[in-house]
Amino acid sequence: MKIALCIKQVPDTTDIRWTEQNTIQREGVESVINPYDVYALELALKLKSQIENTTITVFTMGPNQAESMLRKTLALGCDDAVLISDRKFAGADTYATGLTISKAIKTALPDFDLIICGQFAVDGDTAQTGPNIANFLDIPQVTYVDNFEKFEDGKLFLNRIMEDGVETVSIELPGLICVMTQNFEPSRVRIGGVIATSKKEIKVLSMDDIGLSPEQVGLKGSPTYVSKAFRNLSTHNAEKFELSVDDSATLLKDRLTSLGVLKND
């Protein structure tokens, strides 16, 4: 099985900066791996350990500083890494990002079997990039994945988190899945892995390499834009308290009555 793992660097939440276009500044800002992508990585490694002849190629779209994150994934057991990097990609929304990553996957790993993404990115929280990639590649997708059960007859059987429980679904490959966070400690990098992969080549793909034009990427290729962005600096000393359902209902009723929304019986 050939896995394309899509991960993302996100800014440290204490160090968010905005560009003139009201998009998040990526370059030169302290960043960490997106938490949901950590568990997408863990699932990819789990598949590799249980399915013979499985390889993992990691893709990330971002500035050159993302190379350090890619090297960490190689040290953990991934096989290859691709950095999708070009100044023209800056300011891309989820549509342009999905298009760019899908083209990069088709360029570097055209015979992929499975694409794994994190369900959300904590700097955007839209959950749109993974489904966009699947749409551009015209492949099936399963979102809100918790774990996988088995791989059989070319199908991957997965546990999917629902509002009222967990369901088991199957997906024919090639396909894409989006992974939720898990209740276990992620793997840690060991010095042996760092040494073994320290000089491994990381492939870099530019806009020209993946066959896109300036009008299709970055701000120009994004049908959505951020009109305003700000950090909420307000502080308050609201007291935290808990009420029963009945007391909460009474409190709400009294408030609505005082506003004239409800009338006293």
In tens, the pLDDT along 73-82 reads 999 999 999 9
Q: Are 56 and 72 in contact (CB under 8 A)?
A: no
Kindly indicate the confidence band of residue 181, based on its pLDDT and cuts at 50, 70 and 90: confident
**Where are the alpha helices (H) located in the chain, listed in sequence order?**
35-50, 67-76, 94-108, 129-137, 191-197, 245-258
List of long-range contacts for 210-214, beta carbons under 8 Å, 24+ apart: 210/84, 210/100, 210/103, 210/104, 210/106, 210/107, 211/103, 211/107, 212/99, 212/100, 212/103, 214/88
CA distances from 243 to 237, 238, 246, 256 (A): 19, 15, 8, 17
Q: How far is residue 238 CA from its own chain's centroid?
A: 33
Q: Name the amino acid, one letter, at 157.
A: F
List of long-range contacts for 155-162, beta carbons under 8 Å, 24+ apart: 156/114
Q: What is the pLDDT of residues 222-262, one digit of tens each?
A: 888 767 665 555 555 545 556 777 888 888 888 788 777 77
Q: What is the pTM of this model?
A: 0.77
Mean pLDDT of the chain: 85
Q: To 5 degrees, how large is the angle CA 58–CA 60–CA 63? A: 140
CB within 8 Å of 138: residues ≥ 6 apart: none
Rounded mean pLDDT, 158-168: 91
More confident: 197 or 36: 36
**According to the model, what pLDDT value does residue 126 have?**
81
Q: Are 7 and 78 in contact (CB under 8 A)?
A: no
Q: What is the CATH number of domain 2-216?
A: 3.40.50.620
The owner of tokens 């791989």 is 151
The reply to whether omega before 63 is within 30° of 0 (cis) is no
Q: Domain boundaries in the chain?
A: 2-216
